[in-house]
Structures are given as structure tokens and as C-alpha cells.
Amino acid sequence: MNVAIVIQGIVGILWAAVVALIVVAVVRASKGNKVGKLTTTILITAVAAVLLTSISAGLVFIQPDQRGVVISALQPKGYREEALQPGLRWVIPYFENVVVYSIARQTYTMSIAPLEGEVKGDDSVAARTADGQEVLLDASVIYQADPAQIVRLHINWQNRFKDELIRPLSRGVMRDAVAKYRVEEVYSTKRTQMTQEISDTLRQKLADNGVLLVDFILRNITFSEDYAKSIEQKQIAEQQAQQAKFVVEQKRQEAQQAIETAKGQAESVKIRAQADADARVIQAKAEAEALNLIAEVLKTNPDLLTYQYINKLAPGIQVMLVPNNMPYLLPLQGIGPTTPSSTNPLPLPTPTANP
């Protein structure tokens, strides 16, 4: 509860009571009635009202988010050098008065949108880049009065610091920072760096005047219509280039895939050909080994070949006719019928010379 306000309320009631009593006294006196006791009551009430008025004039309640600057007729400089801190404070009535300042955080917005900023209408900051392009900046400055420098702030700016310090200083710092960068750096590569530079410079300049910068927010950057169109065309061209690059990469991957497929097929053919060749070599080696075995057997038993020949003949052949002037392919002339004592005689064809 603000005690100073309560006392002021009581003072108001007392003065109203004084006025009412005076009116009653005048009415009674006009009618010839005695007003002695009423006069005493009026005096007592008036004295109480004066005392409470004096007390009320000296009591000041400072809220937690406030500080008070005491303007004093009793001080050589005309003010107290220390600001009043939060709580119920006392000043000398009628010789000192208090100017209250808020130290809560506040926001000053400059925007191109008509209803967003402190100033109605387009209040964006027009600035030119290092290469001569005009840009419009939307920004918000979050600040608060420095509690330790409230007296200094009052002496230098009083209540004008928002419009005469925050606004012009912020706009000037923003223009100076933009002038150091090219337009493409402002909206892309060095936007963060530029914002930090504005924040650092603005913080220092505000601190020199008793104001603390809480944060600087670069809300938006707007370009001229011609440059905005050129940016749009550039972005379209970059997207088309990216699309063409993607198509080229896709074709390259397809070609690489075809090459790998062809390599795989060639390797498969090569493997099959090698397998066929190895199979033929193995078969040839087997046949050669078989012939070598046959040759070894024929060395010890030359009649085996004749036997094999005879087995190949049809079983019903009894007579063979051969030219009389031709030699025998096999030594058949030395082969005759088996003896009668053989259990299972082997029928052999009898060669007969053709006369």
C-alpha cells in the first residue's frame, strides 16, 4: 500500500470537512444561532488538514521500478546528488519536490509498417550502402534508464531522452554502419556482423548519456523496387543453375552406372571364357593321359587293339571281303578260331581274300 497516497486521501477528506463546516457555520450564523463550538471544530479540522498536507507533501513512495530525482531549493546545485531508492521516502515539504523516472525496460520501434512504430506511418531508417544502394531498415531498440545515472539523465535530457536521444542516435548509428558494407553483404553474408556493430556502437553512446541498451533487433531490411527485382532474377538464375547442375550430375551417375554394368558384363564374359578354356585344357590333359595309359597297355599287350576292333564289329558279321593287294589294317591273318576245348569260344570273322 502506498502510504503517501492514503495520507493524501485523508488530507482531501479533511479539507472537504473544513469547507463543509464553514458552510454550516455561515448558515447557522445567518439564522442567529450560536457557532462557538462549530468554530472550534473548524479550527481543529483545519489545523489537522494543514499538518497532514505538510506531511503528505514530504512523503514520497518510490516503486521498485522507479528512481526519484530530488529538486531542492536547499541544495547549492539545486538538486540532491543521490536519487531516491524504492520505498517510502521523506523530502522537505514545499522546499523539495521529486521527479520520478522509470527504470523498467522499454522498446522504441522504427518500422515501415504504419501502426507498428512509435511514429505513425513509415518510420523505417533509410540508409545507403557502400555501393550506393538504398535500403530501408526496420529496427527495435530495447533500453532502460541507468539506475546509477538517473540524476545525470535528468540534468541532460529530463523526459525528452526517448525522442531526442534514443531515436536520433539509433538512426544515425544504423546509417553509419550500413555505409560500410555492400548491399549484398547487408542482406546476406555480413548482416550478423553489421547488426553486432550497430549494437556495440549504440550501447556505448547510450551509456555515455545514462541509458542502458538491453538489445538491438534488426527486424527487416527492404530494398528499392529495382534492386528487389534484380535479386529475384538472380535467385531464379541460381535455382536454374542448381537444377542444371543436378541434371548433369544425374546424367553422370547414369553414365557411370552404365560403365560399371558394362565392366561387370565384360568381366562375366571373361570369366566364362576362362572357365571354358580351363575346361578344354583339363579335358585335353585327361585325353592325353588316357592315350598314354592306352599306349602303355599296348606295349605289353598289342593284341588288345585287335580285340577292341573286333568288339566294335557288328555281332552278325561272319565274312569280310578285303582287296587282295591291300595290306591288313590289323594282323588278322595270325588270328584263328579258338580250340574246341574252350568253354566259351570267341567267334572271330574269317578273312577271305577277294579273287
Residue 56 has pLDDT above 60, yes or no: yes
Instruction: Report d(CA 220, CA 55) in Å as an integer.
Output: 53
**Number of domains into which the chain is organized:** 3
pTM score, two decimals? 0.59
Confidence of residue 291 (pLDDT cuts 50, 70, 90): confident
Domain boundary among 178, 199, 223: 223
pLDDT score of 316: 63
pLDDT score of 279: 85
- Check whether residue 19 and residue 85 sit in a common domain: yes
- Check whether residue 31 and residue 63 sit in a common domain: yes
Quick one: three-class SS letters along 6-66?
HHHHHHHHHHHHHHHHHHHHHHHHHCCCCCHHHHHHHHHHHHHHHHHHHHHHHEEEECCCE
Instruction: Assess if residue 340 is contained within a domain.
Output: no
pLDDT score of 239: 74
All three cell numbers of 279: 575346361
Q: Which residue has the higher pLDDT, 212 or 313?
A: 212
Lowest mean pLDDT among 114-123, 214-223, 312-321, 340-349: 340-349
Q: Which residue has the higher pLDDT, 305 or 293?
A: 293
- Check whether residue 157 and residue 204 sit in a common domain: yes
| Residues 163, 221 contacting (CB under 8 angstroms) | no
Burial class of residue 69, CB neighbours in 10 A (0-12, 13-18, 19+): buried
- Check whether residue 234 and residue 210 sit in a common domain: no
Average pLDDT over residues 160-168: 93
Domain boundary among 180, 204, 223: 223
Residue 318 lies in domain:
225-327+350-355
